[in-house]
Amino acid sequence: MQFRLRCEGSMAISYILDRDLGVIFETWEGAITAADLSAYWKSLLEDPEALACRRTLADVRRAEIQFRGTEMMDLIRAVVIPKLGGRKWKTAIVADKPVQFGLSRQYGVFAADYSEDRIFNDCDSALKWLRGRHHGSS
């Protein structure tokens, strides 16, 4: 397998791009603020390989979410949508705490125009879904 590792700032959010699987494995750990999420999304969306892949398994089970849904919505509008330029994304989110699940559902609503999302309790099921069907190439 070929990997590309990228860690940001305090390493609260990091990812490994598995070129063989065509999946970005994203890990959230510890306290995650809106500033952390903003910095991470800006960096991720500057990565040409990540933009070409656009399939993410986001494991948020070890995260302490310290931002509100409205802050995430603002970041989606200000950071994500302009960088994507109409391209689509597919995200499998693995969560196990109520706040993680709730914020993941909010993300799905806010990102519905560009992203197909599902929430899972385990990584195996998430990966199976993520690899089962490719998103559109737009």
Domain boundaries, the chain: 3-132
pLDDT score, position 132: 87
Task: Report how far residue 33's alpha carbon sits from residue 25's, in angstroms, rounded to the nearest whole number.
Answer: 20
The values of phi and psi at residue 77, to 5°, are -70, -40
Pairing of strands 89-94, 55-65: parallel
Candidates 48, 36, 41, 45; CA nearest to 11 is 36
Q: Is the pLDDT of residue 138 over 80?
A: no
Please tell me the pTM assigned to this model: 0.87
- Tell me the CATH class for 3-132: alpha beta
Average pLDDT over residues 47-65: 96
Contact between residue 24 and residue 15 where contact means Cβ atoms under 8 Å apart: yes
How confident is the prediction for the chain on average, in pLDDT? 90
Candidates 128, 71, 70; CA nearest to 94 is 128
DSSP state of 133: S
Candidates 109, 3, 10; CA nearest to 63 is 10
How many CB atoms are located within 10 Å of the residue 98 CB? 8
pLDDT above 70: percentage of residues in the chain: 88
136 pLDDT band, cuts 50/70/90, is: very low
